[in-house]
Amino acid sequence: MAEKLILKKYANRRLYDTRQSRYVTLSEVAQQIREGQEIKVLDAKSKEDVTSFILTQILLEEAKTKQFLLPPQLLHIIIQYGDNVLLDFFENHLQQTIHSYLTHKSSFDSQFKKWLEVGMDMSEMAQKGFESVNPLQSIFEGFSPATSKQDKKKD
């Protein structure tokens, strides 16, 4: 992964991409993050790290269009307890939970894809006819009714 992308936030709310030497929108920053780019946002004047503020702003902008970000009950708790109780939870536990979820989801998606591929292979075998792919077919041919009638006629 490439190093963190440094953005400068100016007083006029504009974000400046120092790597590309151009201004970027919140949606462009969100897209870069979705593509795996880590960012760091510094206030252009004070040099203060305002990354959390910008990331929150991105989430809120996206919530406007989707009309839903977090359940109202959770938002009430966040406002009620603020950073006193929830800071540790958000910094440690929530991040670990989401990471664990994404890891498991990826593993399940991979396994499901394999099952679908096996299902496709089975479908192809059914189209060809199971007889042509059955490795035990020759063993069971000796027990088929047609073979046993021929054996009886020989006797």
> Rounded CA gap, 100 and 60, in Å?
24
> Rounded CA gap, 148 and 58, in Å?
76
| Neighbouring C-beta atoms of residue 59, cutoff 10 Å | 13
β-bridge partners, 39: 5
Confidence of residue 70 (pLDDT cuts 50, 70, 90): confident
Confidence of residue 9 (pLDDT cuts 50, 70, 90): very high
pLDDT at 123: 63
- The top-scoring range by mean pLDDT among 18-27, 57-66, 106-115, 143-152 is 18-27
> Rounded CA gap, 66 and 80, in Å?
24
* pLDDT tens sequence across 104-125: 888 888 888 888 877 766 666 6
The per-residue b/e assignment along 24-54, b for 16 or more CB within 10 angstroms, e otherwise, is bebeebbebeeeeeebebbebeeeeebbeeb
